[in-house]
Structure 1
């Protein structure tokens, strides 16, 4: 009996470690290295199997209670064997899932959580093996009751982790690819909003913030500036001509006005970007293709990065140059790409198509005002 228990525990641990390696690899889908099932709906099957894993984990946890383990008989083998079989079914169904169908975004979330579940199960199997060896060698009898009470039971901790991961996995699958995209879109939206308040304050009057060092760069250069001043050796700077000085100030004032106008128009466009982000999930149905989901997610990331860079360029350099134009154009292109995806996805919905057209018209209106 003892050899069989050790054998089944070791087999579970070895299998879990192998699957963990496959799940952690970045070389694509699991089916390349693991036989895939052929069920009608692998996602639905995964939910069923996860509930099975949770139930079998509970049974193993009960059977492997140290004071009862020696009297458990065949149950110490069959319960672990059943848990192993449920993980075989889990990995097999997971290998059937195609990222092309459900989106790479959703697939990566599923794969990541599956990996966490397998890792927790691996830890559980190692604890079971150690616990069994401890009982067999009668080490547990040498401990006092107070020792046992104070140390706690790591087996129970692992069972709890597996339960929680099974519940989270079920929620993930049942929420679907749109729920995952919604979560990512909210994250991207919060990143867009992060710097807007400060940018709006700056756009009202850039002069007031000229000395405030909004990006914390002043400290890095203060020492260098002091050294430069020391190197002047008392020399007086040339006095500018009054007419030239007036002309320079006039040009600076004109440039500043144009910068403020341009920045305020971007604030209006940023509001439309936020509206677009908030409307994405409302505009998509469960029939939306995985490719569209991935394109939207990737394009959101581009918008966030380009907006962040654009704001930094405007506030730091305060010049409407080619660099600003480059990032501004990138934001425009990315936003229109998302609108195009939404329009194509909802081409049979007149109301949603009209919304896309209305959004584009308003966005273009602000863009036209920028270059008058």
Structure 2
């Protein structure tokens, strides 16, 4: 058994995180004294290990963190370095030239593997509390993609190296295509990660905020139409429930037959009460349509209302609260349109939306305690929202 294999077996059974990482780096360095196939194998094993790190419960605790001053900027630098090394690997592993360039190929793979060691240590330094768990998880997802695409590249490098100088012209052309596809995937993963990190956590929050807003807007147009005349709109089955009805309407009933029958004189009192209930429901719903428009304005203004540097926990709180608003708003709309009355559930969902909006305002005010203009905007929005809420119950 070779020294490299022995070390790898030891690495596989060692539980101490720091010791495992040191052995992993040692493996890469030791393989660098061996042949090209060995360095590719070492790199592939390292990438597989890092892939498990991203999906494991321990996460990046197994990786000793770097100690750079600005880890996000460093992450961008290393991602660009990985892309540059990948480009060199793609050029040198051109099948017709690989047999004459084994030393250069060996060096480029070694350099690429070392850049990934550096990359993983920088990722391990990132703090969810500083950049937000929301942004942190997205960086981990992008990093996992990068590691996975690099692992696919190494698998293809092994095939190219094994067939170096032995392939026919047709096979070489096929292998060139495969090589370029793998290199392109690594490039794309690097570019996406650089774009994500350079845009920053606030830009990512804005993207997620717009997604939450779209969930609210999805049913808002239909709800607005329904709020104008709930009784008439209900006759056209807004949720498409008739499609699942067991009754096939084989008796030839048309839309007119489905209408509520006109009450006779003896039912005039109950009819008036029903009319009053529907008017109250319509008025309440139309007020919510206006409140949803104000909530939309709040969502669109969140990023503009935040300072350029904001605590990561504030970003997470804002996003989690946005999720509550979109969920409760959807439940509120469905309950109103299905129950046709102001039920306890309607009240419960209404209060939940109101409280969540108030929470976002509190976060924005706290984050902007040194900016009078931004806190004034929050106060103005809050006053307008309260006026609408009070008008609903007059």
Tell which has more relative contact order, 1 or 2 (C-alpha 8 A, sep 6+): 1
Q: How does 1:83-98 map to 2 (within 5 A)?
A: 83-98=112-127
- CA deviations 1:271-330 (Å, max 9, x no partner) are 110010011000112221000000000100110011111111111211101010000111
Q: C-alpha offsets along residues 97-123 of structure 1, whole Å, 9 cap, x if unaligned?
A: 111111001101111001100000000
1:179-233 per-position Cα deviation (integer Å, ceiling 9, x unaligned):
110110111111111111111111111222112211121222343999xxxxxxx
Q: Which residue in 2 is equivalent to 1:190?
A: 214
- CA RMSD of superposed structures (Å): 2.3
Once the two structures are superposed, what CA deviation does each residue of 1:331-365 show, in whole Å capped at 9, x if it has no partner? 00001100110011111111111111111111111
Gaps of 5+ in 2: 1-31, 251-261
Contact map agreement 1:185 1:277 (CA 8 A) in 2: yes
| C-alpha separation in 2, matches of 1:209 and 1:168 | 46
1:101 aligns with 2:167: no
Q: CA deviation at 1:153?
A: 1.7
In the TM superposition, structure 1's runs of 4+ consecutive aligned residues that sit over 6 Å from their partners are none
1:338 pairs with 2:360? yes
Deviation of 1:85 (Å): 0.1
Native 8 Å contact 1:99 1:290 kept in 2 = yes
Tell me the secondary structure at the aligned position of residue 358 of structure 2: helix
Q: Normalising to structure 1: TM-score of the pair?
A: 0.90
Residue 78 of structure 2 is aligned to residue 49 of structure 1: yes
User: Conserved in 2, the CA contact under 8 Å of 1:51 and 1:166?
Assistant: yes
2 CA distance for matches of 1:223 and 1:28? 55
CA contact (8 A) 1:38 1:96 kept: yes
Distance verdict in 2 for CA 1:150–1:36, change over 3 Å: closer
**What is the match of residue 28 of structure 2?**
none
* Aligned partners of 1:29 and 1:99 also within 8 Å: no
Does residue 8 (structure 1) correspond to residue 39 (structure 2)? The answer is yes
SS of structure 1 residue aligned to 2:90: helix
CA distance in 2, matches of 1:29, 1:244: 73
Q: Give 3-state SS (helix, strand or coil) of 1:135's partner.
A: coil
- The 1-side partners of 2:58 and 2:386 are apart by 40
| 2:64 aligned residue | 35
1:280 and 2:298 matched: no
Indicate the residue corresponding to 1:235 in structure 2: none
1:261 has 2:283 as partner: yes
Deviation at 1:246, TM superposition (A): 1.7
- Residue-pair matches, total: 355
